[in-house]
Amino acid sequence: MILSYSSVIATFIQCLLILLLVQLLLNFENKKTAITPQFIYIMGLLFFVRLFLPVEFGISLTIASTKIMPAVFNTLHFQLFTINHFAVTVGELLITIGVLGAGYKFMQFIKKNIILHRYIRSKKEEKQRLKMPNTKNFTFSYVQTAQVNSPAIYGIKNPIIFLPNNIEFSDKEFNYIAFHELTHYQKGDTLLTFLLELLTCFYWWNPLLIVFKKQMDKIIELRVDNELLKVFTPDQCIEYMECLLKVKKEQHKKPKSLLAMPHFFNKNIFELRANKILNFSPIKTTNKFICLVTILLSFGSLFFIIEPKSVDSQTQATTFEIEEKKTRKKTF
């Protein structure tokens, strides 16, 4: 595996393709189109893995570029200035800015988590034991706070649920909230959110990551709803939907959250979630044609890399190129 300018550019192009495919899948809201949230989630993970490994694989197929890539590489290797006989190019300057920005973002990330842990220790935690719909018993902690305007969960090992202190929940509503948040935990969404925030520290300059995070917010909520639909009765689906409506109505302000966490309520996809929940039936399989095309496009794109087509300087200095001139034959 090789890390280079070409591999980073190829990663950017491949991630853009995956984002477009994921967005296309999210736009298929018609109930007749069978696409499971789990399948879209896997496509999203492919974006995450590709950013984590922005390298050229040994089996990659090279696509030669004669115009765009040579111009890009010439720009990256353009010498800006010299410091103590050390020439600084555009590419090296961009790398330095990226590393310094990543270090600053990483320190902010650590500081934010330290503040969050201190805040949790300062609050009075309530312990609760709950029987999940899948018949498993689960013990968790929860706190009421003004730092969130929607129920949220945090924790990789010992999960803690945050409840907004301006909303009163009945025992039944509390159970639905716990079912939702603990399903996030069981599906690894809290770990993914943590890793995604960590990855953002190093890719703070990448606009694709901002779009990806918004997509994943939608996907993980749809996936959790779909999992609960597998065990909920129609009456429970209605009660669960009523709980969502209650949170929506009570959201008067949006305080700054302590940390990005999987939330119980996402107003950006409320209508879509409502349609899926009130359909009373989970999506269990993905359309085979859509599945095949998406996999071929997304996985296939990982094995291509675009390189500038050029001749090395030594060969260029000792050889010359003869262009074949085409002549038109005259016939008499």
pLDDT single digits (tens) 206-225: 999 889 988 888 899 999 99
Model confidence over 44-66: pLDDT tens digits?
888 888 888 887 766 666 777 67
Stretch among 73-87, 153-167, 214-228 having the lowest mean pLDDT: 73-87
* Distance from the Cα of residue 277 to its chain's centroid: 24
Reply yes or no on whether the pLDDT at 35 is more than 50: yes
pLDDT at 42: 86
The residue among 219 and 86 whose pLDDT is bigger is: 219
Judged by phi (left if over 0) then psi (alpha if -120 to 50, else beta), residue 60 lies in beta
Reduced to 3 states (helix: H, G, I; strand: E, B; else coil), residue 279 is coil
pLDDT at 5: 79
Strand partners, 128: 140
Q: What's the mean pLDDT when you consider all of the chain?
A: 80
* Distance from the Cα of residue 26 to its chain's centroid: 14
Q: How far apart are CA 87 and CA 80, in angstroms?
A: 8
Mean pLDDT of 272-290: 80
pLDDT at 53: 81
Reply yes or no on whether the pLDDT at 299 is more than 70: no
Closest CA to 164 of 182, 150, 179: 150
pLDDT bin (cut points 50, 70, 90) of residue 119 is: confident
The residue among 110 and 280 whose pLDDT is bigger is: 110
